Structure 1
Amino acid sequence: MPPSVSDGALAELADVVMRVAREIDPKGPQAPDIVPLTGTEALVMRWVHHNPGASPSAVARATALQRSNCSVALRSLVAKGLIERQTAPDDARVTRLHPTALADESVQKLHAYWAGRLRRALDGDEAGVQAAAALLARIEEELRHGGDPPPMSS
């Protein structure tokens, strides 16, 4: 990023993202009727929903979770009826993870909740929504694949 963007401006952007995330968190009083998840479960569920058929190892790598933590989350998601484990047709030693119909229904309800909250907040600003989504997707991609973060200064 060019040095013309100040640390203060970047910190404010991060802070705004965190505040918006809190406002659209589905655990509040207006929450949709969905299966409640921990943060780790939501992270794993999101990955499996976007990548059906992934292996548990792939999910752990992609989410940067330790395998043991990912396994705990997967067991919980299976118990909640949101993920099913299937044996790979070409190799019985390989497990593939798939979202269930309940997971798809919960994701649809969650997306409708988010859309409604943001629609009221943005009042039809389609260009702004597209620009913000593109910027945030670019930030996510770079943070995920752009290497190690700089050391924290004390």
Structure 2
Amino acid sequence: MKTEAVDDLGMLADLLLDVARLIRMAEPHGDMPALTETERMVMRIVDLAPGLTPSEIADRSVLQRPNVSVALRSLEAKGLVDRTERVGRNVVVRPTEAAASSLERLRTALRKVMEEAMEGTDTSTLLALSAPLRELEQKLFALRRPTGTP
């Protein structure tokens, strides 16, 4: 890969981190309980893939299993996840109705932040980035996956 392309990818990565930071700063919390970064990551995985076991969540998040357990206990205490269902010997984790409702309000608020930032601008180019960014997310996850896991 040419040096220019590597520099461009590095600049793009830095830009994505900065945009994410700025969105997070503008993110209204409303009635959603404050979450740690670990809780946010775990909650996102639970929302995107309900019914995973804590070990599967740890694998997807590339977090240590004890850290996921601590986050799940906290999320359960906040009423955002339910760990009561069992599949065989494994507990599975699902978001609660309260989590779904809070997430819907949060995404609505984030949409408003984005609309305000993009006022008067055609957003179709940005929206077209969704699929490539999801693909990038999956590829980055695959690179971070601990060796020996499927």
Tell me whether the two structures share a fold, i.e. TM-score over 0.5.
yes
How far is the alpha carbon of 1:121 from its aligned partner?
A: 2.1
Which protein is richer in helix relative to its size?
2
Using structure 2 for the length normalisation, give the TM-score: 0.85
Aligned-partner residue type, residue 114 of structure 2: L
How far is the alpha carbon of 1:79 from its aligned partner?
A: 0.8
> 1:58 aligns to what?
56
> Could you say which structure has the greater relative contact order, defined with CA pairs below 8 angstroms and 6 or more residues apart?
2
Unaligned runs of 5+ in 2: 146-150
How far is the alpha carbon of 1:5 from its aligned partner?
A: 5.1
Unaligned runs of 5+ in 1: 149-154
Alignment of 1:10-25 (within 5 A): 10-25=9-24
Matched, 1:137 2:137: no
SS of corresponding position for 1:52: coil
Which residue, 80, 83, 88 being the options, matches 1:82?
80
Aligned-partner residue type, residue 128 of structure 2: A
Matched, 1:31 2:28: yes
Identity of aligned residues (%): 35
Structure 2 CA distance, aligned partners of 1:127 and 1:80? 37
Question: Using a 3 Å threshold, how does the CA distance of structure 1 residues 128 and 4 change in structure 2: closer, same or farther?
Answer: farther
**RMSD across aligned C-alpha pairs, in angstroms?**
2.0
Return structure 1 stretches of 4+ with deviation > 6 angstroms: none
How far is the alpha carbon of 1:145 from its aligned partner?
A: 1.7
Using structure 1 for the length normalisation, give the TM-score: 0.83
Question: Using a 3 Å threshold, how does the CA distance of structure 1 residues 12 and 75 change in structure 2: closer, same or farther?
Answer: same
Alignment length (residue pairs): 143
Structure 2 CA distance, aligned partners of 1:111 and 1:9? 30
Which protein is richer in strand relative to its size?
1
Question: For structure 1, which segment, 127-136 or 2-11, has the greater mean C-alpha deviation from structure 2 after superposition?
Answer: 2-11
How far is the alpha carbon of 1:22 from its aligned partner?
A: 1.3
Alpha carbons 2:60, 2:141 under 8 Å: kept: no
Aligned-partner residue type, residue 17 of structure 1: L
> 2:103 aligns to what?
107
